[in-house]
Amino acid sequence: MLPHNCILGTGYAVPPRILTNAELENMVDTTDQWIVERSGIRQRHIAEPGSALSDLATAAARRALDAADTSAEQIDLIIIGTVTGDMKFPSMACLVQEKLGAVNAAAFDLSAACSGFLFGLNIADSLMQTNGYQRVLVIAAEMLSSMVNWQDRNTCVLFGDGAGAVVLGPASDQRGLLSSYIKSDGSHHRLLYNPGGSQHPPSHENVDSQLSTINMEGREVFRHAIVSMTDALHEALKRADLTPDDLDLLIPHQANIRIIEGIGKRFKIDPAKVYVNVDRFGNTSAATIPIALNEALANGRIKPGDTVGLVTFGAGLTWSSCIVQF
Ligand code: ACO
């Protein structure tokens, strides 16, 4: 059997500006109480208009490289999960490659919305097994503030900006990525989408009609989130031949505290073993899991030998999971 790949280092970066629920009360018809009760979110970090997401992604990547004691030149591959890259093309991964000086890497972006990080981890793991890559950077970075309709209270209260990164390398023992799973169902793409693209290119008319902002049917997305994350976690546990009791920590996608608690309950996982930071960051899309992973390692919630479940869902619909032993 080939050795597993493992996470050698993690890092994250968020913009300094914090947007509180109290500020949102002055922007749309909402209240702090509604946002906290329905989503669990108290604040989110928001990038300054015109700032480059690639800078945030690069900062997260540098921290992950430092933690992994790895130089940029050692990186063979950079994958970035994002739907809000600096430009339509080239990929943000190429921009980050230049900023890091990762001159020996191949680099590409991956579009799986909130599932972008775990899709990236799955693909990185597979390419390492087949191409012999020794050091891979998987980054997730999103600036959803750039595509939110700030007059739409249904969506603008939910999202935040941020970036997280991990460095992968071959494990020296049987620890590492024990299993992973990716899945999609395009038939529900209209539940959560941004129509701005080649079908509706930027024009005054299209921008005025909000054709470049997020559309979401929140209640339906919520329902699908529970079903798909349940499928994903079940599948990753089965592939690793583990049960929910074997998990020392579960890090679910941080979209809504009620979805997070719902998943924990379905698998009868002690709430103390379910990581939550949605209150401080909001939903940073693909970046929620690597940000939480970095925090959990830094604050001792993950210790050597611990088995951690990662599970997400997002637009597409897409859903994904991974079991990692540290
Ligand atoms: N403030 C006050 N009232 C609001 C707000 C707001 N910000 N937003 C909506 N409402 C109102 C609605 O208009 C509705 O009013 P009505 O009954 O008069 O029509 C009422 O609140 C209830 O709306 P619901 O949609 O039923 O509220 P719900 O309890 O479902 O919570 C929420 C809404 C938070 C959006 C929830 O459905 C949810 O979290 N869904 C999943 C969203 C999600 O996770 N999206 C991202 C997933 S993928 C990714 O991460 C990119």
Q: What is the pLDDT of residues 264-303, one digit of tens each?
A: 999 999 999 999 999 999 999 999 999 999 999 999 999 9
**Among candidates 299, 298, 296, which has minimal Cα distance to 307?**
296
Burial of 96 (0-12, 13-18, 19+ CB in 10 A): buried
3 state DSSP class of 184? strand
- The band of 203, judged by pLDDT with boundaries at 50, 70 and 90, is confident
Average pLDDT over residues 138-145: 98
pLDDT at residue 201, rounded to an integer:
86
**Among candidates 182, 165, 195, which has minimal Cα distance to 92?**
165
pLDDT at residue 325, rounded to an integer:
96
- More confident of the two residues 41 and 204: 41
Average pLDDT over residues 305-309: 97
Residue nearest to atom 44 of ligand 1 (CA): 255
- Read off the tokens for 263: 């998943």
User: In whole numbers, what is the pLDDT of the chain averaged over residues?
Assistant: 96
Q: What percentage of the chain carries pLDDT values higher than 70?
A: 99
Measured on CA atoms in the order 117, 297, 95, 199, is the torsion positive or negative?
Answer: positive
Q: What residues contact residue 204 under an 8 Å CB cut-off, 6+ apart?
A: none
Give kind and range of the element (H or E) at residue 312: strand 307-314
Residue 3 has pLDDT above 80, yes or no: no
Amino acid at 306: D
3 state DSSP class of 85? coil
Q: Which atom of ligand 1 is nearest to the CA of 288?
A: 50
- The band of 202, judged by pLDDT with boundaries at 50, 70 and 90, is confident
Residue 9 has pLDDT above 70, yes or no: yes
3 state DSSP class of 269? coil
| The domains spanning 5-173 and 177-325 adopt the same CATH topology | yes
Q: What percentage of the chain carries pLDDT values higher than 90?
A: 93
What is the distance in angstroms between the CA of the first residue and the CA of the last residue of the chain? 19
3 state DSSP class of 74? helix
Residue nearest to atom 7 of ligand 1 (CA): 153
Residue 1 has pLDDT above 70, yes or no: no
pLDDT at residue 208, rounded to an integer:
82
DSSP character at residue 173: S
**Among candidates 294, 286, 288, which has minimal Cα distance to 81?**
286
**Contact by Cβ (8 Å): 247, 324:** no
30 lines ligand 1 (CB under 6 A): yes
Model confidence pLDDT, tens digit, residues 144-163 = 999 999 999 999 999 999 99
157 CA from centroid of ligand 1 (Å): 9
**Among candidates 309, 241, 235, which has minimal Cα distance to 274?**
309
Distances in Å between the Cα of 268 and the Cα atoms of 251, 256, 306 are 15, 18, 18
148 lines ligand 1 (CB under 6 A): no
pLDDT at residue 86, rounded to an integer:
97
pLDDT at residue 210, rounded to an integer:
83
Least confident of 171-175, 260-264, 266-270: 171-175
118 lines ligand 1 (CB under 6 A): no
321 CA from centroid of ligand 1 (Å): 25
Give kind and range of the element (H or E) at residue 166: strand 161-170
Residue 174 has pLDDT above 90, yes or no: no
CA Rg value for the chain:
19
Alpha helices (H) in the chain, listed in sequence order: 21-25, 32-39, 53-67, 92-100, 116-131, 153-156, 204-208, 218-239, 257-266, 278-281, 288-298
- Read off the tokens for 22: 């109290």
Q: What are the residue ranges spanned by the domains of the chain?
A: 5-173, 177-325
3 state DSSP class of 76? coil
160 CA from centroid of ligand 1 (Å): 16
3-state SS, 186-202, equals HHHHHHEECCCCCCCCC
Q: Give domain 177-325's CATH superfamily.
A: Thiolase/Chalcone synthase (3.40.47.10)
CATH-assigned architecture of domain 5-173: 3-Layer(aba) Sandwich (3.40)
